[in-house]
Structures are given as C-alpha cells and as structure tokens.
Structure 1
C-alpha cells in the first residue's frame, strides 16, 4: 500500500480521458486506479484492457485472465476494511472528472444541509444502472462539507460472481460502502458517520423507465435508527437519475436466475452484449440534487414500527410532491 495522506498522485491521463468518453473503457478507469495504490497480481493487465475496447474482446480478455490465474477466480482473502484515504484519492482523481464533466453534478439548496455529522442522507435512488446518482452525491457532499460519506450498498456489489471479476475484490468495502443489511446498517449509524441511504431500497432503481420519478414505498428502518441514535435525516431529491439508463424495463424473473437485484433490458442491450465492460457505464445526463429541510429525530421510546412506517411514508409523500413540483418548473422553463 502506498497511500499518501498529504499528496494524491494518480494523474488523470489522456488514456483515462479516452476511457471516459469511450463507454467500454469505464471499467478500466476503476481498475487502473486501484492498481496504482494496491499490488494486485490477480487484477486485469494491459493486454486485457485493450481487449475491452474491441467488440466481443471482453470475453477473450476474461478467458486470458482466467487461464493466467490458473483457471480459478480472483482471490478474495485479505480484503481490506474501509480506508478513507483511498476514498479521498478515488474521489479526487477518478470521480471528480466523471461528476464534473460527464454527469455535471450540482448540489442546490445547500442552506438546508446541516453543518455537522452524524447524518442520514436519504435520496431517491433510480436509473437501473451502476449507482452513479449515489456516487455523484457522495462526491458533491465531500466537496461542499469535506465529509467522508459512506453509502449503503446492495449485497451484490460486494460478492456477486460477476462483480468479483469486473472490480477488484473488496473494492466497494474499501471505498466505504456499507452492506444493505440491518445489522450493518445499525452498526454504521451508531458510529456517527454520514450515511447515504435509499429509503426505496432496490425497488427504486428496479422500477423501470415507465414508472420514473414515482417513488416506491419507503422502508421505515432509517426512521427507527434515526430515533434510536438521535441522528437527523437530510432528504435529498435527485433529478436526472432516471435517465441513467433510459427506456429500460426490469426482467425480474430472469434477474433472479442470475442472482441479480435487477436485470435491465433496453435498446442498448446489443451494445452491452458486445461490450460487457460497459456494465459500470451510464448515459450522459445532468444530475441535479435538491437538499430538503432536515427531519429531526423523535423520542425513541415513542417509536414503534407503526409510527416509524407512518413517518417514512409521510416523508415519501413530501418528497414525491417536491419531485413533481420541480419537474413541472423545469418543463415550464424549457417551454
């Protein structure tokens, strides 16, 4: 490990800029950055990277890597814990150009954002793609408040066999992702962190294009944890995330067969079949975030499941009204 706390030293090169604007290269960005700070003999190499960029070449690269590793998957042992220094390096050296120049992320109504941690940031998560709306918001929060933000992430981002081959083992964990399981959720909140949370769970990104901007039922767990640990909730509305993977439907039954939280089918599927490394890519869109007034915790002794559920759905209704209002303003302005 060669982290430097005072100087981040990965340079976004001409090849990285090429990868940013050539969708099959996005997976290369993540892995090259990881290999700058980690010795990873099981990781992808330059020959395999070049094959990513050729139609159908990913399959040959996967075969070459599998043979190079002795016909076994990448090693999963010695996975590191969350490292905020690496998260900062990734945020500044990889995520910054993506958030600024590709997704053009913008954080509005910043006056509603509390100055101090701990905090649960609850956002409408959507797009049926790699969680770019989460990552861009984490970047913007880090820039505006110098916060270390940890997102709650689906278990598939940690251990699904496809993810193990695509991304370095433990990559999500080292970057600070918290497993979306109640014990891990509660443990993270108890450590007084900035936790980025999607109250809709996987139902949000999985609802598909034809239900865009219609919020699913909110899970009440974050209300209960907010009251138990006396942590305020900062609701944030994201506009633009529904267009990360447009005109997409979720084939749920097929997704279950492959052990995926959702399986998006769209007009882009032939391209994804030719370039599987595009699995972490999303369409170019503008991600705009609107910080809503903070929700303060109540007395935990007065909180039961019914009360928590009612308050969660009240928050959902308020966010839904605000989303429709913001969409109407934007559409009226465009006209």
Structure 2
C-alpha cells in the first residue's frame, strides 16, 4: 500500500520537470516490481490480499484515466477506484455517493435476493440461492396441505404440483454443492387413483414379479464389487440399478395396497378382487386389529354371496 501511495503522489505533476519525471519513473519501477513479486507469491490464503491488491492496482491503472468520472467506469473499475481512494485516504474524487440500483446488475450478475435485493450475486450463485428459497416455500406449502389420511398417490401428486423434486435437484446451499433430490419415484409416474381394480391388480403383480427378479440379479457376479454384498458400497453400478429398481417396485406395491384398501368396491367382482389382493398383505403384517377388520369384511362378503348378491 505504501508503494501505491508513493506512486499516486507522483501523478499530476507538471510535465517537463526533471525531478518530477524522475520521481514518477522510480515510483512506476517500484510499482512494477511489487506487482511482479505479488504474482510470484505462492497461491496460499496468506497471499490472497497481496494478489488481490495487485489486480486492483492494474485495474485502476487501465480504467481510471483523466477526464473519466466514476459513473463512466465499469463495475470492476469502480471497485478499483474505491480501493484506490481508501488506500490514499482521499475520497474527493468520488464526490456524492451515487445510489445503487440493485435491480440493474452488471453483466454476469443478478439482483440478490430477487425480492427486495440488497446486493449483486454472480448468476450461477444467485440462481442457486433463489432455488433454495423457492424450495423452502414449496416444502412449507407441502407440509401445510398434507394430511394423515392422504394416500401415497395424493402425496406424490402434491409433490409434483409443487415441483419439489425439480427444486431439490437444482437447489444449493452454496455454489457447487447441489442438494440431492434422490432417485425418481415410480409411484409418481402412475395415476393409481384413476386405475380400475383390475388394472391395480395387474400393476401389483408385475411390480412384485419384476421387483423379485431385480433383487435376485443383485446377488449375481455382474452386480457385485465383491462376493456376498453386505452394504450399498459393495454393489457396482449395475447392482445399484437393480437394487433401486427392486426398492422402487416395492414402493409401487405398497402404493397399490394403500389405494386398494381405501377404495370401496363398486360391484361383486371388484369386491372379490379387492379382498384377494388385501389378504396376503393383511395377514403378513400381523396387526390383530387389521386382521379382525379384514375377517369382518370376509364374513360380510360370505353373507352377500349366500344371498346371491
């Protein structure tokens, strides 16, 4: 900084004065030496200030020319001028403080935050900030509208309506650190609420069979990084794909079970199909209350059948 001040003190002297010219040449030579030294410093945090000042000094020399006002300078030029004035302790060049229009960012930057901005952010970082803000709004709305009695299909539909997966996949806390949205949901790709009971039975059967095959493949040598995988890290990419597919199809089976359980049968065939689909799951779960309720449904079905309805 002393070199910058000494160099600045030689500016504005009358041309043709041998002493003044010699003083400027000495100051300029010292400036070049200091800049070279800053460039040669190792790239460590201790040397960030010296290198940053060198960049600002060069920017000031190239941008701030006689007759140019602060408003004539580029964004980086204005920063360099501010740093120059702070170093030499003279703010007379700046004049009245110009109000900053945060809604008019320079090229490569955007207003941040988007609502009532008070700074500029580089566009990639600003987008990440806005995605995080929007995701927070979407999560709050999802929690507000969620109800315990909602089906898995309804919850997935609400997630899609609020674009939660899209926002999560792009949101970042800091630039370069993306929030993991997790794998896509097969349940979200299906409209189970609109499916007939026979269509639900077909979806459940296919999900069960294909899911079992996917899990079986994970034990094959083409899916392992070592014999007998015991954790996700023991699977190669093929194994991870099959494991994800098995888990995703299990979620589909569960979503179908929930949809079938909440749907009242419309006719005799639907009632039979519904009961046959619920039987194994209800018994396997081992919940006495659920088994008792299912048994009452079976008795009601038997009574209806005996009446020939």
TM-score bucket of the superposed structures, by smaller chain: under 0.3
Q: TM-score, normalised by structure 2?
A: 0.21
Q: Which has the larger radius of gyration?
A: 2
Q: TM-score, normalised by structure 1?
A: 0.20
Higher relative contact order (CA 8 A, sep 6+): 1
